[in-house]
Structure 1
Amino acid sequence: MRIVVIGGTGLIGSKVVARLGEQGHDAVPASPASGVDTLTGEGVKEVLQGADVLVDVSNSPSFADDDVLRFFRTATTNLVEAARSAGVGHYVALSVVGADRLPESGYLRAKVVQERLITESGLRHSLVRATQFFEFAGSIADAATEDGTVRLSGGGVQPIAAEDVAHVVSRTAAGDPLGGLLEIAGPEAFGLDEWIRTVLRARGDARQVVTDPRARYFGALLGPDSLRPGPGGELAPTSLAEWLTR
């Protein structure tokens, strides 16, 4: 199959392209660097010609509320229109577990808009919602650092390795459309503060992680299950300890 991967040069996208290629598919990485800009629409129709599957694992370059909403609304609208025109048979998008439970977060509100545009498009689709990636621990710590101290709540998280996310996205792209949602998460639950503290210690980062129940995660107050999958979620194999040794 010809499978176009929007965001195909990024953390997840590059792994998806590699996996699909190993399986014998014609996996095409698409990004602004290859002349495909989903915000302006440049190159989108052209790259989707003859595509069987569209995979969108792209992300907004800015997480400011207005910017991220504009990105996902505009980019998804352009992709939906081009996919319809090209006769794409399967639209796969990567989203976030808990997106619809945390409307205080501008980023997650924008992901809900993305999901809605896809589900209401009439295209056959699959939405893969993943928890936070192990690889993002550093950026989460940086965003929560004030005067050299990391302030995070103990809200529940169940982070996942990017490699495991890529595996599920690739499998989904090569399979039949789900017509709905699949949630994926790592095998272990942590408090957000505990997870980041563990990673920083393993990396020799001397910053102190202070537990602050009032600390917001990208604008949202977290509860014990805000960012954890529901009962039907699929658990990936890689533990935090295993990931840290790689």
Structure 2
Amino acid sequence: MRIVVAGGTGVIGCHVVAAARDRGHETVVLTRSTGTDLYAGTGLDERLTGAEAVIDATSVQTVSARTSVDFFRTVTQHLVTAGRRCGVRHHVVVSIIGAQEAPFSYYAGKQAQEHLVLDQPSGTVVRAGQFHEFVRQTMARTKAGPIYAIPRMRSQPVAASEVAGLLVDVAEQDPQGLGPEIAGPQELTVADMARRVIEHEGGHARVIEVPFPGGFGRAMRDGTLVARAGTRLGRLTFDEWLADQRGWRGR
């Protein structure tokens, strides 16, 4: 089976490529270095021709709702339109648990992306909890001297490799519309995760929790972004994932 992976060099995309190749699938990674610009919509037909499925693991580094919506609407529209032209039977996208209930900041773009994909007969949306890597991304944005000001947030972090395996599972099947959800095996606060990262790295920085304002802040605190009934649970805990990490320093 020929599977095209958009965002195939990112946190989740690289795991998707590895999982697909391990199962014997031919994979095509969409990157600018191979002549494809997802935002501009160029170079897509050549790469999508002959593909049976597209797995969209694209992402954008922003906390701006406007930027996120613009990116995901533009990229997703280009992918689904090119997919129709090229006869792609299945378009799979990874989204986030809570994107529909909390369409703020980055999540606003994921909500827009979901709507576009669910409007396609070829579309499947797979929602996941935050990846284990999310805490380090948050720490990188919130460091002020020896202090990390971490938003007060409940999370159920999941291994990117387990999400990738589920995405390939889904891509091998017929389109489902709203597909399965997956989260990690335990709920943690992001602040506690940050403290564990600092301890693991032998650091001495201080973590303080800061309540985020507005509707998104409420969603962070009230459980909107964690697993609900029927969600699949991964096996790898945050501590197990952290124990296998090497070479990162955020202090």
TM-score of the two chains, using structure 1 as the length reference: 0.91
Residue in structure 2 matching 1:215, options 200, 206, 212: 212
Q: Corresponding residue for 2:83?
A: 83
Task: Report the more deviating stretch, 177-186 or 219-228.
Answer: 219-228
The structural deviation recorded for 1:61 is 4.5
The structural deviation recorded for 1:66 is 2.6
1:230 aligns with 2:228: yes
Q: Corresponding residue for 1:133?
A: 131
Q: Report the number of matched residues.
A: 243
Q: Corresponding residue for 2:241?
A: 243
Q: Corresponding residue for 1:67?
A: 67
1:109 aligns with 2:119: no
**AA partner of residue 5 (structure 1):** V
The structural deviation recorded for 1:137 is 1.6
**Structure 2 CA distance for aligned equivalents of residues 148 and 245 of structure 1:** 23
Where structure 2 has 5 or more consecutive residues not aligned to the other structure, the ranges are 245-251
Q: Secondary structure at the match of 1:112?
A: helix
Q: Secondary structure at the match of 1:223?
A: helix
Equivalent residues of 1:183, 1:230 under 8 A apart: no
Q: Corresponding residue for 2:249?
A: none
**AA partner of residue 163 (structure 1):** S
Matches within 5 A, 1:1-246: 1-103=1-103, 105-121=104-120, 123-212=121-210, 214-215=211-212, 220-221=217-218, 222-246=220-244
Where structure 1 has 5 or more consecutive residues not aligned to the other structure, the ranges are none
Q: Give identity over the alignment, percent.
A: 33
**Structure 1 CA distance for aligned equivalents of residues 69 and 11 of structure 2:** 21
Q: Secondary structure at the match of 2:126?
A: strand
Q: Secondary structure at the match of 2:167?
A: helix
Task: Report the more deviating stretch, 182-191 or 12-21.
Answer: 12-21
Task: Report the more deviating stretch, 46-55 or 132-141.
Answer: 132-141
Q: Secondary structure at the match of 1:79?
A: helix
Give CA deviations for 1:14-45 in whole Å, capped at 9, x if unaligned: 22112211211111111222211111111112
- Against the structure 1 CA distance between its residues 34 and 216, is the aligned structure 2 distance closer, same or farther, given a 3 Å change threshold? farther
**Structure 2 CA distance for aligned equivalents of residues 97 and 185 of structure 1:** 8
**Structure 2 CA distance for aligned equivalents of residues 88 and 71 of structure 1:** 22
Equivalent residues of 1:57, 1:94 under 8 A apart: yes
**Structure 2 CA distance for aligned equivalents of residues 106 and 97 of structure 1:** 14
TM-score of the two chains, using structure 2 as the length reference: 0.89
Quote the RMSD (CA, aligned, Å): 2.0
**Structure 2 CA distance for aligned equivalents of residues 231 and 142 of structure 1:** 32
**Structure 2 CA distance for aligned equivalents of residues 211 and 79 of structure 1:** 39
**AA partner of residue 181 (structure 2):** E
**Structure 2 CA distance for aligned equivalents of residues 28 and 135 of structure 1:** 24
**Structure 2 CA distance for aligned equivalents of residues 199 and 181 of structure 1:** 32
Equivalent residues of 1:151, 1:215 under 8 A apart: no
**Structure 1 CA distance for aligned equivalents of residues 145 and 224 of structure 2:** 27
**AA partner of residue 76 (structure 2):** T
